[in-house]
Structure 1
């Protein structure tokens, strides 16, 4: 079982030919509301990739919260420990252009009320093969979950997004960090992904840097280094590609796959996701991933 301690949002997605510049108004061609948030996305991706998943986080007492909970449950995610708190759920305003690129504004809502893992949530983490963390919850909550994992001997996998300074007390408790190339550069100050990988390994035992259409880099303190190419496809919407990659990667690692095989599994899942619109709606099933491989 994998646990995810993270954010749940309702994605408000506008599709446009070209994203507006500051002060500019453009006409969109479609609008959708899709449950998302990096935590919920990773939970759904992992569940669809073939494992039991428990989601730990919070939604509001609004209609969005009920829809997010239902979406997670339908995807096979255990939501017994998903909190409901007073007020609105988190939302993400997303603009997707015709090249498949996106820009996102996140309003935390209920996610901002999660300041530490509860005793029940700590017990779920302790029973997990790994716990997936992101940075859309307050930092003190993420640190608390990472520490709970370390104390239980459970690997904590961190997606450092949105990019921000990472305190040593967090990284000391993380087993694997999975930034994209822009996040890796922001964290380390190194524009070259290979150099960023080396710098991150000074702080975390294992590192995967995703490079979009260029694939992914992997490194560990044991000295292993890998570069796995991406599956080349025509992207429609890249919104949840990184979360799909991380969820599938966690499943492959839980199954005991070696690093290169796990990365290829995750890359195949991400490639499938970018060929579809939406976040949680774009994530492939285990059968689809296996067929793509």
Structure 2
């Protein structure tokens, strides 16, 4: 069986600008009804992002075989070239004519407040990217357009390809019925601790109860590691000490990349979660979701030092 992974999710450009002041000094409460402000942003950077791209990047660092399944616009040439240059298979990325790739424009101030504008662009057409006929050991349905997430889940389910449901930033889009519908098709669920509490509240079911109907549920807890629910057992996955904490953006995606790579290697869920923790800790030490670049040997060293296991040869 192929050990590739279909990574269904968004691909996006993130433009981050820094205003060297404070929004509260320029946005006046008594004038909010006729707001017109302009911020000089001398510092700006553009990042490659989106859940599909970020997860694929993490897997590629480990030597995995990610296959991103995403929709992009006509402006995505540089992103596709980057992925190809890394050796990532882009055959399942669909370009939507006369659209832009999804883009997030974020302006932050000196108090770390943010003003964000998001343009979904080609992401709105995610359901058009049909994975029928694809083969893979695993897949993940990560945040994307809601219709696209369901379309991918239904096609994967029909094809018999096991997949992980990654709720993430799509959380506001899913009500109780949506969650239950997705969980009936998925083999596993990944959420952070806040998302887990929201899932419990919306479904009226505990994570332990949800896990009984799945192969596994993984709840990430940042600096506290993760909790794995599988085979009726609850296992705490110890955290990895990060060299430094710079930027959490994309840490969840990097964790998913490590988790999926472990599963394609035939590892247990526990060891796969450990590798996921390593990737998240390495990512958080760099700014942006795809700027960390440890060698496979460096990843292996952290994995062995923390958990006493090695990457496969």
Q: Deviations for 1:128-158, whole angstroms, at most 9, x for unmatched residues?
A: 0111111222x22212211222223221112
| Bigger radius of gyration among the two | 2
2-structure distance, mates of 1:282, 1:16: 25
2:147 aligned partner: 140
SS at match of 2:59: helix
Instruction: Single out whichever of 257-266 and 211-220 deviates more from structure 2.
Output: 257-266
The residue correspondences of 1:136-215 to structure 2 (distance < 5 A) are 136-137=144-145, 139-162=146-169, 163-164=171-172, 165=174, 166-189=178-201, 196-201=206-211, 204-215=214-225
Shift of 1:13: 2.0
Contact 2:6 2:68 (C-alpha < 8 Å) held by counterparts: yes
Contact 1:45 1:283 (C-alpha < 8 Å) held by counterparts: no
2-structure distance, mates of 1:18, 1:254: 47
SS at match of 2:45: strand
2:237 aligned partner: 228
SS at match of 2:282: helix
**TM-score, with length taken from structure 2:** 0.80
Q: Deviations for 1:146-186, whole angstroms, at most 9, x for unmatched residues?
A: 12222232211121021132343221111111111111122
How many pairs does the alignment contain?
281
Structure 2, unaligned runs of 5 or more? 29-37, 304-313
**TM-score, with length taken from structure 1:** 0.85
RMSD: 2.8
Q: Deviations for 1:62-119, whole angstroms, at most 9, x for unmatched residues?
A: 2xx112211221222101221111211101234678999988654211111122442x
2-structure distance, mates of 1:94, 1:283: 24
- Closer/same/farther in 2, CA of residues 97 and 272 from structure 1, 3 Å limit: farther
In the alignment, does 2:280 pair up with 1:270?
Answer: yes
1:129 aligned partner: 137
1:23 aligned partner: 27
User: Match for 1:38 among 51, 60, 74?
Assistant: 51
Instruction: Single out whichever of 88-97 and 75-84 deviates more from structure 2.
Output: 88-97
2:11 aligned partner: 8
Contact 1:244 1:283 (C-alpha < 8 Å) held by counterparts: no
SS at match of 2:301: helix
